[in-house]
């Protein structure tokens, strides 16, 4: 992997820190963040340095690069990445910046590299799928192709799911393997494929998107369809008995899974933050679908069994979240774009042998979470509009916002190190 120590990521340069210091001084534990954290460009630049460039981020599923030459591009923190499988079967993450004069090398969202090569559209410098420069036109005799390979960032595959990081010294992956990996294995994600994707653009700061995802205090008022099907939408006291019954049913099926929490400053030093836990569905529901019944072939350890009436939440780092049902999985990618704009990508996974139109219908697969995410887009944008007001004053978190409170505490502690 090329050394990224001297790479100059746009928008990550440190400023004088005045805005950040003012925000940290104004922060009250147990309360929402001060307004400046959701709007200030300098704080956003620090966010990019402390969270986006330093952590691991999900970029997709290995089925998206099934054969040599298959590729897709993905944007993270203002950087474009080519994820590609080489002739040697290795999957790599290449910086999509030509080593000549900086043009984007690959301009397509997804496809197969013709002849196993990427040709820069500007001056036709040509790279293979390992990133090696194969051809540069009309160069002097002293020119050495090996000095101009595309830069590469670290990539890990965990149960079929692809993660990348820009960090020169990546955070450890043990917590991810113990929580995300252990759960994803039970759900058979290594043997999955992508069944559908959706991309939203939310006019709000990326932290408001993450804070909304972290709590279900809003689920009752904002997500009626979700709330009908998920016990997690109820107060904690009402969730205890159904979740205990779920674990008993899972154990009877031989699918017992213990929750794992390595959240924020609870993570061991040098390790990526991660967590995974199970929650019951409402009575009669076996999956997150319109009628509560599976709409695709059961996956992993659930194949050949009656689902146990539960689902799982999985989280990795600051931008990657996942939901697992017995018949499909869902990747949530939060993509910071500007201080007030966030991309939000959903990737649905089904069993690799499932055939669209025969074993599942895309409209059934996406129904609940496409619907719920459209609602989230609306409420988060309203949240940003209110936070922008001169009358905004951070309010206290409630017991159902415990995880959001913990997330914000972790965020503040990391920003104090900046």
Who's near 175: CB < 8 A, 6+ residues apart?
260, 262, 267, 268, 271, 272, 273, 274
pLDDT of residue 16: 63
Strand partners, 56: none
Closest CA to 325 of 339, 343, 337, 307: 307
**59/158 Cα distance (integer angstroms):** 12
**23/49 Cα distance (integer angstroms):** 17
Predicted structure pTM score: 0.94
**41/47 Cα distance (integer angstroms):** 10
Q: Give the chain's domains with CATH numbers.
A: 57-155 (2.102.10.10), 173-416 (3.90.380.10)
**313/325 Cα distance (integer angstroms):** 9
Strand partners, 396: 31
Please give the full DSSP string across 382-394, using - where no structure is assigned: HHHHHHTSTT--P
Q: What is the DSSP letter of 34?
A: P
How many residues does this entry show for the chain?
A: 418
With both helix axes pointing from N to C terminus, report the angle between 402-416 and 206-214 in degrees, rounded to the nearest 10.
140
pLDDT of residue 170: 97
Closest CA to 165 of 177, 179, 155, 152: 155
pLDDT of residue 15: 57
pLDDT of residue 77: 85
pLDDT of residue 14: 46
**159/182 Cα distance (integer angstroms):** 9
Closest CA to 319 of 83, 12, 57: 57
Give buried/exposed letters for 150-163 (b at 16+ CB in 10 A, else e).
bbbbbbbebbbbbb
Q: What is the DSSP letter of 10?
A: T
Other beta carbons within 10 angstroms of residue 148's beta carbon come to 17
pLDDT of residue 7: 41
pLDDT tens sequence for the chain (418 residues) = 444 433 444 444 445 689 999 999 999 999 999 999 999 999 999 999 999 999 999 999 999 999 999 999 999 988 999 999 999 999 999 999 999 999 999 999 999 999 999 999 999 999 999 999 999 999 999 999 999 999 999 999 999 999 999 999 999 999 999 999 999 999 999 999 999 999 999 999 999 999 999 999 999 999 999 999 999 999 999 999 999 999 999 999 999 899 999 988 888 999 999 999 999 999 999 999 999 999 999 999 999 999 999 999 999 999 999 999 999 999 999 999 999 999 999 999 999 999 999 999 999 999 999 999 999 999 999 999 999 999 999 999 999 999 999 999 999 999 999 8
**188/181 Cα distance (integer angstroms):** 10
pLDDT of residue 2: 42
């Amino acid at each position: 992997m090329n050394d990224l120590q001297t790479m100059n990521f746009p928008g990550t340069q440190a400023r004088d820190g005045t805005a950040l210091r003012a925000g940290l001084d104004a922060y009250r534990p147990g309360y929402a963040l001060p307004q400046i954290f959701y709007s200030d460009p300098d704080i956003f630049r620090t966010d990019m340095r402390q969270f986006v460039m330093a952590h691991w981020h999900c970029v997709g599923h290995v089925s998206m690069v099934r054969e040599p030459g298959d590729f897709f591009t993905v944007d993270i923190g203002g950087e474009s990445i080519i994820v590609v499988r080489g002739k040697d079967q290795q999957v790599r993450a290449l910086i999509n910046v030509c080593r000549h004069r900086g043009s984007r090398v690959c301009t397509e969202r997804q496809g197969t590299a013709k002849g196993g090569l990427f040709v820069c559209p500007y001056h036709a410098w040509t790279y293979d799928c390992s990133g090696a420069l194969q051809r540069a036109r009309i160069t002097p005799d002293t020119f050495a192709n090996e000095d101009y390979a595309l830069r590469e960032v670290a990539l890990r595959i965990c149960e079929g799911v692809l993660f990348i990081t820009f960090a020169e010294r990546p955070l450890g992956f043990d917590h991810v393997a113990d929580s995300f990996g252990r759960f994803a294995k039970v759900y058979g994600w290594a043997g999955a494929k992508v069944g559908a994707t959706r991309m939203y653009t939310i006019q709000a700061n990326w932290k408001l998107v993450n804070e909304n995802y972290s709590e279900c205090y809003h689920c009752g008022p904002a997500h009626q369809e979700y709330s009908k099907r998920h016990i997690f939408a109820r107060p904690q006291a009402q969730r205890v008995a159904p979740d205990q019954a779920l674990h008993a049913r899972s154990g009877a099926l031989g699918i017992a899974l213990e929750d794992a929490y390595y959240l924020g400053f609870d993570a061991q030093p040098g390790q990526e933050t991660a967590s995974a836990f199970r929650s019951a569905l409402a009575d009669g529901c076996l999956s997150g679908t319109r009628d509560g019944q599976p709409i695709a072939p059961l996956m992993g350890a659930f194949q050949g069994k009656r689902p146990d009436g539960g689902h799982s939440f999985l989280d990795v780092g600051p931008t990657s979240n996942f939901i697992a049902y017995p018949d499909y999985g869902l990747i949530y990618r939060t993509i910071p774009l500007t201080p007030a704009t966030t991309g939000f990508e959903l990737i649905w996974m089904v069993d690799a042998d499932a055939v669209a139109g025969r074993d599942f219908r895309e409209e059934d697969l996406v129904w609940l979470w496409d619907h719920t995410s459209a609602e989230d887009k609306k409420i988060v944008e309203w949240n940003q509009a209110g936070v922008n007001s001169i009358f905004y004053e951070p309010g206290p978190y409630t017991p159902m916002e415990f995880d959001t409170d913990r997330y914000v505490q972790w965020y503040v502690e990391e920003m104090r190190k900046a």
